[in-house]
Amino acid sequence: MNERDSEAVGATFIKAGHTLCNIEEDADVLLFNTCSVRDAAERKAKGKIGYMRKLKLRKPQLIIGVMGCMAQRLGEKLLDELPHLDFVLGTGQIHKALETVEKIAAERSRFHDTAICPEEIDMLGAHGENSWSAQIAITRGCNRFCSYCIVPYVRGREVSRSLDSIISEAKMLVASGVKEILLLGQNVAAYGLNGDIRPPADGHSPFAELLEALNEISGLERIRYTSPYVSYFNDRLIGALAHCSKVCHNIHLPLQSGSDRILQAMNRQYTAQSYREKVAQLRDAIPDLTFSTDVIVGFPGEEESDFQLTRDLMNEVGFEQAFIFKYSPRPGAKSALLSDTVSEEEKLRRNNILLDDLQLRISRKLAALNGSIQEVLCEGVSTRNKSRWTGRTGTNFVVHFEPDAAVKTGDLRKVRITRSGNVSLFGELC
């Protein structure tokens, strides 16, 4: 989501005649878009912004601004902490980045605004130069209030965009050559539910309607989405996923924990068993579906037995990808009131065990695809080996292959898999 916001803000600057540059020393304006989800992300952002003080001493006209979740959480305090900073814009004010920079250039004043502003959603159609793939934010904010999570506090209440505005944005992107669209939201499957926190009843899913409408756009090849909350997969949505041919067979389905006790303390509204059942229902409908997930280790009160339940469920579901996070208390989120009982060392041990399991599973899953023929969306020259190209299967495996003279970025091509590595596949064009 931050990446998408940065792109939208960058696009408003380009439209006003500015150019983006890749080297900090060359810039007249430095904008930091920040994350608050874990303490480490905030520390890293502050370190980086602090480091820019030297640059500002050499170049006093430089304008430095901070946007995003950390800006929202800390607001004016950031101006006190970082005296070389010119402005702070919260998550609801990023659409004001350009006018703020212009104002500061004229007045040389310092500025901060962290008001929550849902209308900000209107500027989100701005895109930079997209090639074959583009992101579209369909919802903003979150109403779920998982006890560990800062997002509802820094991104505000959940708001969905209109179906028409999303479809016209998608059509505009496809007309400019985009082949793949990634739909973004804290809980994309809550799209169109007007902030109601109850998962929709069977037969009803505005997110399914959105996927069906996007599936009709000619020239669009693939639709991806991240992240949905497990309880929102009802019969209507599962049916749409199965029959929409452009919707990729890969779901990022955050699990967080495999222990019911911990899930309850996290305020996650499902049990290990209901998660398991949903995965089975999805696999019944779409047999080659792959899954990735997010898991937190070391939540307050997580015992070895809770951790084992998480480990077992992860192996049972057989996630093809997983992002493991060490619990980080976030001031303001409910769980920050609990004592952080699991030591850093123990969090690291649990983290590494899950990563080792994952690596073993991935190698096995990749090896099982040896000899198969996969449809790959061609992304371009591989960064590791310039004589090869890279692409991705709909199930989200990375494939490296020898290009032929005809291959173009954004093409869908069949590749015969000839070898598997630790994290990716190798093959030849059919």
Q: Which residues bind ligand 5AD (CB under 6 A)?
A: 37-38, 148-149, 254, 256, 294, 296, 325, 327-328, 330
Which SS3 state, helix, strand or coil, does residue 22 take? coil
**Residue 229 touches which of ligand SF4, ligand 5AD, none (Cβ within 5-8 Å per kind):** ligand SF4
Q: Tell me the closest approach of the beta carbon of residue 322 to ligand SF4, in angstroms.
A: 15
Please tell me the distance from the alpha carbon of residue 375 to that of residue 400, in angstroms, as a whole number.
12
CB 367 within 8 A of CB 421: no
* Residues sharing a CB contact under 8 Å with residue 156, sequence separation 6 or more, in sequence order: 91, 92, 116, 118, 140, 141
Q: Which span sits near ligand SF4 by CB under 6 A: 64-72, 101-109, 146-154, 175-183?
A: 146-154
Which SS3 state, helix, strand or coil, does residue 300 take? coil
- For ligand SF4, the closer of residues 45 and 142 by Cβ is 142
Please tell me the distance from the alpha carbon of residue 75 to that of residue 52, in angstroms, as a whole number.
19
User: Cα torsion for 5, 195, 36, 342, to the nearest 10°?
Assistant: -150
For residue 333, the 8-state DSSP code is S
Contact string (CB under 6 A) for ligand SF4, positions 149-168, x = contact: x-xx----------------
Q: Is residue 49 involved in binding ligand SF4 (CB under 6 A)?
A: no
- For ligand 5AD, the closer of residues 33 and 130 by Cβ is 33
Please tell me the distance from the alpha carbon of residue 146 to that of residue 152, in angstroms, as a whole number.
9
Contact string (CB under 6 A) for ligand SF4, positions 175-214, x = contact: -----------xx---------------------------
Q: Tell me the closest approach of the beta carbon of residue 146 to ligand 5AD, in angstroms.
A: 7
CB 185 within 8 A of CB 139: yes
Written as six digits, the tokens of 110 are 């310092």
> How many residues contact ligand SF4, by CB under 6 A?
10
Q: Tell me the closest approach of the beta carbon of residue 299 to ligand 5AD, in angstroms.
A: 8
Q: Tell me the closest approach of the beta carbon of residue 121 to ligand 5AD, in angstroms.
A: 21
Q: Is residue 145 involved in binding ligand SF4 (CB under 6 A)?
A: yes
Please tell me the distance from the alpha carbon of residue 133 to that of residue 173, in angstroms, as a whole number.
9
Q: Which span sits near ligand SF4 by CB under 6 A: 53-61, 147-155, 163-171, 216-224?
A: 147-155
Sign of the C-alpha dihedral computed for residues 406, 412, 414 and 415 taken in this order: positive
Where on the chain is the footprint of ligand SF4 (CB under 6 A)? Answer: 142, 144-146, 149, 151-152, 186-187, 229
